[in-house]
Amino acid sequence: MTVVLVDPRRPSLIPVEAIELLTGDVQYTEEMPIKVPWSLPSARPAYEGEDAPVLLSSDPEHPAVQARLAAGDKLISAPEPQAGERLVDAVAMMDKLRTSGPWESEQTHDSLRRYLLEETYELFDAVRSGDADSLREELGDVLLQVLFHARIAEDAPSHPFTIDDVADSLLRKLANRVPAVLAGEPISLDDQLAQWEERKAAEKRSKARKSVLDDVPTGQPALALAQKVIDRVTQAGLPGDLIPAGITSVALSVQGDAENELRASVLEFMDTVRAVEKAIAADRRGEDVPEELDVNSLGAITEEEWRAFWPSDDVIAPGEDVDDEAEAVEAEVLEAQAVDDEGADDEDAVDDEDAVEDEAQATTEDELEGESADAEDTEPAPDRVPEPTPADVPEPAPVEVPEAEPTDVPESTPEDVDSEVAHDAETDESAKNGQAEGAETDEPARNGRAEGAETDESAKDGQAEGAETDEPAKAEPQ
């Protein structure tokens, strides 16, 4: 009696020593794929009839398997799982998600770009943290992106490939780059690195690259992109003074976008390099060979060729240093910042001037109110009153006296006459007092003397005005 255990991932792979046994009467457990027992000449379920000489199963914990092993049956099993077998399960699960998942089935290479970038940064953080659990999890997230893109490529209408093609490309590359290590030959670190770079360069030449910038990923951060591009063009022999300062130095400003500005400068420089390479290639092949028939790689470019075909606008004038251009760029940025700061200072200065004017006006009004109150309460000394300036003394507004309309005067009795005489006397006295107050008020305004100071001029004016007032008053009783 024998129990044959197969790999549940590959149930069709039967151990060699079990092949002859499966030609006779065989029972199988229910988890076995139906195509396996159907391929056997005589197979029946484990629960039917008496025990067969052979029990075929992929589940070592199945009750029938456990019972027969406990009874002493011989065990023939597939080899133990090896490293990478769970990757097969991951591939199968990704295939299930791609074909059945509403979200997974709609994704494209482009729609997954941001997730790949995000997972890569998270993997960087996990490596830096030193947390093994976090590192394992983030590696799985990156692996998901690899499996996802490979599964999407499998459905491509043109040039499709599978995850096995991806693995095959990796195996071929490693076999070509480090043959000595894979062959078990002793090799030093320096020799291994030199061999890697040499074979890598040979691979690039075999692809007939049209530009030194081919295969440079432009989706990487702008600073890393600039560094990669500078390394490539420098290795290709481009003179350093032809590299613009806009990508060799980064100027930061508060309102700027350094990432996008640097990326735009690098992409523009890459276009210039490719245009120059294309012009050099056209010059080398001549007019007789069309561009579409030119299958030769560009090869090395001399410094003279770079300078001869480089756009004249991008060439730095003789005697001008690259650092000078960088300083000029930095100066422009600083000047722009200074203009912004000056505008802000001007606005602040205007606000300060307005505040000072408002405060001065309020102070002047308070002082005037205080002086008016003091003038009413206390009569200042004549020698301490400052002489007002013409600007301080407002001219008195002219007073229009309406002409009295003539009225009929009724005949008066002796009692009325006496009453009117008394009333006129009181009016005369009030007029004199009013004239005196007017003189006290107007005189300091004209010559700066103290209020109420009596002068010959005011006295004369007061007497004259009083005489003018008395005359009509005396004429009435007559």
* CB-count burial class (<10 Å; 0-12, 13-18, 19+) for 360: exposed
Q: Which CATH class is domain 85-206?
A: mainly alpha
pLDDT classification of 396: cutoffs 50, 70, 90: low
pLDDT classification of 353: cutoffs 50, 70, 90: low
Residues 6+ apart with CB under 8 A from 71: 1
| Among 81-90, 93-102, 153-162, 271-280, the least confident range | 81-90
The tokens describing 240, both together, are 């350093």
User: What is the pLDDT, as a whole number, of residue 465?
Assistant: 46
User: What is the pLDDT, as a whole number, of residue 334?
Assistant: 59
| Among 93-97, 122-126, 260-264, 382-386, the least confident range | 382-386
Once rounded to an integer, what is the mean pLDDT over residues 176-189? Answer: 92
User: What is the pLDDT, as a whole number, of residue 212?
Assistant: 87
β-pairing, 2-5 vs 26-28, is unpaired
What is residue 88's three-state secondary structure?
A: helix
d(CA 310, CA 278): 11
Q: Burial letters for 400-424: b for 16+ Cβ neighbours within 10 Å, e otherwise?
A: eeeeeeeeeeeeeeeeeeeeeeeeb
User: What is the pLDDT, as a whole number, of residue 356?
Assistant: 55
pLDDT classification of 138: cutoffs 50, 70, 90: very high
| Among 107-116, 124-133, 394-403, the least confident range | 394-403
Average pLDDT, the chain: 75
The tokens describing 288, both together, are 């007789």
User: What is the pLDDT, as a whole number, of residue 398?
Assistant: 52
User: What is the pLDDT, as a whole number, of residue 447?
Assistant: 47
pLDDT over 50 at 148, yes or no = yes
User: What is the pLDDT, as a whole number, of residue 394?
Assistant: 52
Residue found under tokens 């996990």: 126
- The 3 state secondary structure assigned to 31-47 is CCCCHHHHCCCCEEECC
pLDDT over 50 at 112, yes or no = yes
Once rounded to an integer, what is the mean pLDDT over residues 219-226? Answer: 90
Once rounded to an integer, what is the mean pLDDT over residues 367-387? Answer: 51
d(CA 351, CA 193): 68
pLDDT classification of 241: cutoffs 50, 70, 90: very high
Q: Burial letters for 287-315: b for 16+ Cβ neighbours within 10 Å, e otherwise?
A: eeeeeeeeeeebeebeeebbeebbeeeee
User: What is the pLDDT, as a whole number, of residue 269?
Assistant: 95
pLDDT over 50 at 414, yes or no = no
pLDDT classification of 294: cutoffs 50, 70, 90: low
The string of pLDDT tens digits covering residues 54-105 is 888 888 889 988 888 898 888 888 877 778 888 988 999 999 999 999 999 9
Residue spans of the domains in the chain: they are: 2-77, 85-206, 222-315, 320-373, 421-437+462-478
Is the entire prediction scored with pTM above 0.85? no
The distance between the two most distant Cα atoms of the chain, rounded to a whole number of Å, is 169
The string of pLDDT tens digits covering residues 456-468 is 444 444 444 444 4
